[in-house]
Amino acid sequence: MSYSRFILSLAQVLLILGLAPAVSWFIKKMKAASQNRVGPTLLQVYADLGKLFRKGMVISERASWIFHGMPYVLFSVTLVAASMVPVFFEGSLLGFMGDLIVFVYLLALGKFFLALAALDTGTSFGGMGSSREMTLSSLAEPALLLALFALAYHAKTLSLEGLAAHFNRQAPFRILFFTLPALGALLIVAIAESGRIPVDNPATHLELTMIHEAMILEYSGPYLALIEWSHEIKQLIFLSLLANVFFPWGLSNAESVAGLLFSPAVYLLKIFSLAFVIGWIEILSAKLRLFRVPDLLGVAYVLAVLSLLGQLMMGRWM
C-alpha cells in the first residue's frame, strides 16, 4: 500500500475513534430537545469518558480472567472491525478480499466475550442480559450477513471497501432495485446492534427492559470506559457502512487533494443525517416487548432474503 493511502487509512480509523462519542451525543441531544430538556454538551460526552478512565474500579471477587480481559478484547475487536470500513475514502487500513465475513465474525466475537463476561460474576442481571443479547443476535446476524451478501452479489466482491467502491461508481441518484430492501435490513440491524429503541433502551436500568446495560452492569472505571467506547464505535461503524454503501457520493479515491478535503465533510454530513434518522426513530417509537423484537428482526431477515435471492432470480437487475 502506498504511503499516502496508509496515512489516509490511519486517519480514517482515528476519525472513527474520535467521532464515535459525538454521534451518541447527537442522538442524546435530539432526545433531550424533543423532551424539552437541554441535554449534554459535546464536551460533556468526552469528559464523561475521560472521567471513567481516571476512576477506580470495584470488581467482584468471583470475577475471572474473562471479566478482566473482555474490555480489551471487545475494544481491540471493534478497532480491527473499524479499520476494515471505508470512511471517507475508498480504502481501509486492514481491508482485504473477504473481509466482509471477517467483519461480521469479529463483531460476533466481541459479543461472545461480552456475554461470557456478563455471566462471569454470577449475578442474575448479567445472565438475563446475556441470554437476551444472544437471542437477538441469533436473528440479527443472519440478517446482517445476508444483507451484506446481497450487496456483495451485486458488487461481485466480498470486501467492504470493494462494496463502497462499486456503489460509488454507479451514476448518482440511480436507485437500485434490489438493494433497497438491503437498505431496510441494514437499517434495522444497525438499530439492533447499537442497542437503540425500538430494540433496546440505552438509557434504562429497569431489569425488564435492559439488554446491553444488563451485561455491563458490573463494570466500572476504565473497563467501563473501554466498553462504552467500543459500543459507540460499533454504532458508528454501522452508520458508516450504511452511509458509504447506499449513499457513496463524496467518497474520494485519494486522487485529488480537493476531493480529500471535501470528503470528510461529506462524510460528517452523511453520518449526522443518518444519526438524525435513527434519533427520530428513537423519539417516535416505543421499545418493543422482547417477544416482539424477533418480529422486527424477522422483517430485516426477510428484506435481506428478498434482496439477495431476488437478484439471483431476476438476474442482476439495474
Partner 1 sequence: MEQEWILSIIHLTSMAFLVTSFALLVSPQLFSCIRFYAIHSFLLAVITLSTAFYNHVYHLIISAVLTLVLKTIVIPQIFFRMIRQLGMRKEVETYINIPLSLLFSTLLVFISFYGVGNMKALDLLLSKESVSIAVSTLFLGMFMMTTRKKALTQVLGLLLIENGVFLMGVTTTFGMPLLVEIGIFFDVLVGAIIMGVFVFKIRGAFEGIDVDKLTMLKG
In the bound state with partner 1, the residue whose beta carbon lies nearer, of 259 and 310, is: 310
User: In the chain, what's the furthest Cα-to-Cα distance?
Assistant: 60
CB of 165: closest distance to partner 1 in angstroms?
21
Half-sphere exposure of 29 (CA within 13 A, CB side): 15
CB of 47: closest distance to partner 1 in angstroms?
42
Site track 280-309 with partner 1 (rule: CB under 8 A), x = hit: --------------xx--xx-xxx-xx--x
Alpha helix (H) residue ranges in the chain: 3-34, 42-54, 65-82, 99-120, 124-155, 160-169, 179-193, 212-215, 221-246, 257-284, 293-314
In the bound state with partner 1, the residue whose beta carbon lies nearer, of 207 and 295, is: 295
CB of 176: closest distance to partner 1 in angstroms?
8
Residues touching partner 1: how many (CB under 8 A)? 24
Binders in 142-181 for partner 1, by CB under 8 A:
173-178, 180-181
CB of 38: closest distance to partner 1 in angstroms?
34
Cell triple for 46? 468526552
Residue type, 61: E
Q: Which residues contact 307 (CB under 8 A, 6 or more apart)?
A: 146, 147, 150, 151, 178, 179, 180, 181, 182, 185
Nearest in space to 19 (alpha carbons), one of 271, 316, 278? 271
Q: How many residues does the chain have?
A: 318
CB of 21: closest distance to partner 1 in angstroms?
34
Question: Rule CB under 8 A: is residue 81 a binding residue for partner 1?
Answer: no
Write out the residues near partner 1 by the rule CB under 8 A. Answer: 173-178, 180-181, 184, 294-295, 298-299, 301-303, 305-306, 309-310, 313-314, 317-318
